[in-house]
Amino acid sequence: MAQMLYQGHGSYRFTLGDGTVVYVDPYAGAGYDTPADLVLVTHEHGDHNRVDKMPHAPGCAVVRAADVHPDAETYRTVESHGVRATAVQACNKNHVADECVGFVLEFDGVTFYASGDTSMTDDMRSGKLAALGIDYAVFPADGFYNMDVPEAAECARLVGARHSIPVHIVPVHDMANPTLFDRSRAEAFRAPGRIILEPGETLDLKPF
């Protein structure tokens, strides 16, 4: 069974059942001691793309937004180390659609929506994501660089994942909050199947 470690902010790590290690948007928190087999970067902002924070295992693959979204119309799927990653829309006033993606990840019988930094997208509104039968999804909700908590909850309802997790809920510039986590904001994220993870907590990802 795969396990997710929420490192904090928009950063998390998956350990698959066979020991494969996948990092998404490395930047915050701890847990970078385990060598990466795959690193996914949704966009090139400095709080998402620290691909050298962890050691790289032999054959490690780094997949950046530009690799899977080379032009405005193209969103590619890549397969690496037992993970199938399909790029989908991610954008808002602070994140240019041509430079950002989310990923729909498939591994160990689980479908996981790694939203990246975004607000509501056409992929959400159209039902495209809902049709994928997503098991787990994360949604940013800092209300400054991304959408606020109510919009994030509405996006979660549109995506229809079995479980939704609020992340990136404190603006990265808020130096008074070094953990970049606010429990009250996380609890205000009211979506079906909500799971709240604090930085450093883990979650077993169970196929449905």
pLDDT (0 to 100) of residue 85: 98
Q: Are strands 11-15 and 2-8 parallel, antiparallel or unpaired?
A: antiparallel
- Angstrom distance (rounded) from CA 34 to CA 20: 10
Say which CATH number the domain at 160 has: 3.60.15.10
Task: Name the pLDDT band for 208 (thresholds 50, 70, 90).
Answer: confident
203 lies in a domain? no
Residue 88 confidence (pLDDT) above 80: yes
Residue 75 confidence (pLDDT) above 90: yes
pLDDT (0 to 100) of residue 190: 96
How many domains is the chain built from? 1
89 lies in a domain? yes
84 lies in a domain? yes
Residue 92: DSSP 8-state: B
208 lies in a domain? no
204 lies in a domain? no
Domain boundaries, position 108: 2-196
- Please, what's the largest Cα pairwise distance for the chain? 43
Task: Name the pLDDT band for 106 (thresholds 50, 70, 90).
Answer: very high
Residue 176 confidence (pLDDT) above 80: no
74 lies in a domain? yes
pLDDT (0 to 100) of residue 137: 98
pLDDT in tens, 17-67: 999 999 999 999 999 999 999 999 999 999 999 999 999 999 999 999 999
Strand partners, 79: 84
- Computed over every residue of the chain, the mean pLDDT equals 96
pLDDT (0 to 100) of residue 172: 87
201 lies in a domain? no
129 lies in a domain? yes
Q: Looking at the whole model, is its pTM more than 0.75?
A: yes
pLDDT (0 to 100) of residue 173: 84
- Angstrom distance (rounded) from CA 179 to CA 83: 29
